[in-house]
Amino acid sequence: MSLFDGIYPFYPQKRKAAVFDVSTIIVVVVFLTLACSFLLITPGIRGRARLYWTLRVLLSLAMGAVIVVVQFTGDWQSGWVRANTSYKSFSPALVSAEVGLHVGLAGVNITLLGAPVQQLNETIDYNEFFSWGLGADYEQSYVAGLQKGLPSPILYVAEKFRARSPCGVQGQYRSAGHYASITLWVAFCTWLLSNVLLSTPALVYGGYSLLLTAAFLLISLLSFATVRTALSCPIRLGPAALHTAYGGSFWLTLAVGLLCLLAGVAVVLLHRFEPDLLKTFFDVRGEPAAECREVIEECREVIEECREGTEGCRSPAPPSGGPAPCALCPGTLQREASPAPPPELAAKGQSRSSC
């Protein structure tokens, strides 16, 4: 039990990291555990299939990890500025500090780092998160910051994102982040579907699912990019201005979207022009009955070609102790109940034991 509704007043409060937080670390650990678990199976796979299997698993897990991780990162847009600005309200004292702005899908993270850190007999190192996600109240977070007495630069930047601000950027960022998050979760579902389909003989549908995943990833980027087309509200700290640009999460999502697009196109094209190579890479075999029918048809075609090519053949009597000069003459085929298949078909039939 603790006083003040679970708050320990004599200890520093938890702060959200500018880029990574606990949710991001949990997602990364989960996917790394899955990757290590799958890699433990690789010694039991023989031949080239081991390399193909490892490549497929690692690429697929990397795609899924990025799709989930960018939901919780806070660097879809980032910006830094170094300025001499006031530290406290109603105080003429100025400090030299770096002010950082990191915008994510669920909120904004504002940092203040002194240069040097120790100024005015205080440690200037702040990192505050203001959320506008589902179930969060941005105004309440801002009021809590006022009550804690946060430095003026942090409150000034946070005020720009208030719903009552004339800038009106909170509604734009909140809507863009909301729709981008929805499309990212849909992309995660299609990614799961593609993994299931690529483990079945219907490989082309797995390629279509990868194309669908890429489409949703690109749509999420377009949803968030609409904020950049809106009129920007200037954030000035003294003579300097804070400008933002697309951050690491945005470009990482774009890279994964293009990777899914290339993978989907490759699967569809290989299914169209090189189906055997595609089945070899994914270690998928067709139905045994269909393979048996193919072997039988090929055997019949070869026998017909042999009959047509040896028409009118008159085999002389074989020499003593020697084979017949023409083993596939019509007369020989009529005498033999089951002619032996050619060597290439015999080898092919041995590889398909199910027939």
pLDDT digits (tens, 9 = 90+) for 263-296: 999 999 999 999 888 988 888 765 555 556 666 7
Tens digit of each residue's pLDDT (9 = 90 or more) over 206-257 = 999 999 999 999 999 999 988 876 656 788 888 888 888 999 999 999 999 9
Q: Which of 265, 250, 252, 175 is nearest to 212 (CA)?
A: 265
Tens digit of each residue's pLDDT (9 = 90 or more) over 114-152 = 988 888 888 899 999 999 887 788 999 899 999 988 999
Structure tokens at 200: 């079945």
The top-scoring range by mean pLDDT among 71-80, 223-232, 316-325, 343-352 is 71-80
pTM, two decimals, is 0.74
Instruction: Confirm if 83 and 156 have CB atoms less than 8 A apart.
Output: no
Q: Which residues contact 276 (CB under 8 A, 6 or more apart)?
A: none
pLDDT the model gives residue 203: 92
Average pLDDT over all residues of the chain: 80
Residue 63 amino acid letter: M
Which H or E element spans position 177?
helix 169-197
pLDDT the model gives residue 189: 97
How many whole angstroms separate alpha carbon 88 and alpha carbon 102?
22
pLDDT the model gives residue 5: 45
| Rg for the chain, CA atoms, rounded | 34
Q: Which of 249, 307, 284, 301 is nearest to 105 (CA)?
A: 249
Q: Which of 257, 256, 230 is nearest to 103 (CA)?
A: 230
Question: In which band, very low, low, confident or very high, does the pLDDT at 1 lie, cut at 50, 70 and 90?
Answer: very low
Residue 349 has pLDDT above 90, yes or no: no
How many whole angstroms separate alpha carbon 192 and alpha carbon 85?
50
Instruction: Confirm if 190 and 213 have CB atoms less than 8 A apart.
Output: yes
Percent of the chain at pLDDT exceeding 90: 41
